[in-house]
Amino acid sequence: MKGLLGLLKQSRRTKEVDDSDSLLFSTAFADLGVDSAMLIPWEARANEIGSKRLSASRGSKLLQALWAKDKYMAKLSSNFVSRLEQFFDFASVTAGRDIIRQDEYGDFMIVLLTGTIAVDRAQPWGERLRLTEARPGELLGEMSLLDSGMRFSVCTSLTDCEIAVLSAQALDEMMVADPALAASLIALLARKLSRRLRVVSARLSDKKI
């Protein structure tokens, strides 16, 4: 954790000199040669699927309640979680909407607050493999946010849902304004992502795909 915090502090110092710092999440896609026209930000997806803004007070309350029960996120103190509110957008989405699409570039992750979201992997022959059905408290899309790669799966709302959204730009702002909070969040995101990848890899191996 000390090493990660040091990296974030270094990023903060460097940003004051050079805005093209490759440590920034909002510029990472461009650094990897991804055309900006191919990038799908949350604002564009929200408009496309007709999501509605959720009040920050309700979104933050749901987020705190869910993460208080989470094995990893509970390590964030209640004070830390309340400080996250200013960096998240909160929204409601109706059933049957593709919030994240496979093989696209997207610079945001979501936390499911209420409802259920299907996570599917489209196969070359056209079939969709159901990887999981995400429940409240689970994260989706954090892999692309962290490594600026293409989306691995499509995430579709099975019911009306309420979500919290963290964009790359907001994560950069967090790194500058509250580096301790950003360091803690990124470390916990990495742990949860690693755990989920192990589960998905085992599932894919069992299905011999």
Burial class (CB within 10 angstroms; exposed 0-12, middle 13-18, buried 19+) of 205 = exposed
Domain ranges of the chain: 2-207
Cα–Cα distance between 110 and 100 in angstroms, integer?
9
Rounded Cα distance between 58 and 158, Å, is: 21
Query: Using an 8 Å Cβ cutoff, are 37 and 101 in contact?
Result: no
Backbone angles phi, psi at 104, to 5 degrees: -95, 170
The pTM of the full predicted model, rounded to 2 decimals, is 0.81
What are 130-144's pLDDT values in tens digits?
988 999 999 999 888
- Cβ atoms of 83 and 181 within 8 Å: the answer is yes
Q: Is the pLDDT of residue 195 over 90?
A: no
**Quick one: pLDDT band at residue 14, thresholds 50, 70, 90?**
very low
Q: What phi and psi values does residue 123 have, to the nearest 5 degrees?
A: -95, 155
Q: Residue 95, by phi and psi: left (phi above 0), alpha (psi -120 to 50) or beta?
A: beta
pLDDT tens digit sequence for 21-37: 457 888 888 888 888 88
Q: List Cβ neighbours of 125 (8 Å cut-off, separation of 6 or more).
A: none
Q: Does domain 2-207 have CATH number 2.60.120.10?
A: yes
Percentage of the residues of the chain whose pLDDT score is greater than 90? 47
